[in-house]
Amino acid sequence: MSAPLVVVLATGNPGKAREFGRLLAGACEVRQMPPDVELPAETAQTFRENARLKAETVFAALRGEIAVLADDSGLEVTALDGRPGILSARFAGEGAGDEANVAKLLEELVGRDDREARFVCSLCLILPDSGGAGAAGRALEVDGFSPGTITIAPRGVDGFGYDPVFQPDGWTKTLAEATPADKDGVSHRGAAARALLALLADGTAARRGVGGCDAADHGTAEHATAEHGA
C-alpha cells in the first residue's frame, strides 16, 4: 500500500479542516496551513475560480514543495436567484458569523414557498511537479453538489455554516442534526472528495493533471463532478 499523499489544506476554517481530514482519510494526510501563510481575497466570480486562486496562492507560498488542496463552497438558493452563492461566508456582511448569515437567509425567505437550495463545493488540488520546488505544479479540479431545502428555523447543534437550516433531499433532519458519517455521505464536500479520490486513483490523471492543465494556466480545465446519491 502506498503512503498517503501529504496535503496542506488552504483554509483557516477549523470545521472544514476536520471535515476534509475525515473525507480524505487513508488516501491523504491532511495538514493545517502554516499560520504565516495568508489566503488571497476571494475576488473571482465562481466557486471553481476561487478554489484555484486559493490553491495557487498557498502552493506558491510553500514554494511548490508540497501538495495543496483548496475549496470554495457555498449555498445556492433558487428563490434568491442563486444567492448567497460565492458570498455565502459573508452574506450578512464582512466579518459576519454563521448565526448572522443564517438569520439573514431566513429573513429573505420569509413568506416564500420555494425553499429549494443546493450546496456546491469546488476543489482544486495542486500537486508538486517533477521539476522540483518552484515548478508550476499540476492541478486536479472537481465539483460536488448536495440538493435539499431550507428549513423554517435552525435545528441541530453540530456542523457549521448553514448546516442547521439545510435539509438534504430525502431527509427529515438537517445536516446539523446528523452524525459526521451520515453528513459525509450526502454533503457537497463529501461528493467532491469522492470525485477527487477517484481522480487520484487514476494514475494517468494524477500524472498529467486534469485536462493537462498546470497551476500557472488560468484557462478552463476539465472538471469531474459528483452529486450525492450518484
Check 36, 71, 72, 113 and give the catalytic one: 72
Q: How far apart are CA 204 and CA 89, in angstroms?
A: 35
Whether residue 93 contacts residue 81, with contact meaning beta carbons closer than 8 Å, is answered with no
Phi then psi for residue 210, to 5 deg, are -65, 125
12, 39, 107, 135, 197 from 146: Cα distances, Å? 23, 26, 23, 35, 18
Cell of 228: 450525492
Active site residue 72: yes
For residues 188 and 121, the answer to whether their CB atoms sit within 8 Å is: yes
Q: Which residues are marked as active site?
A: 72
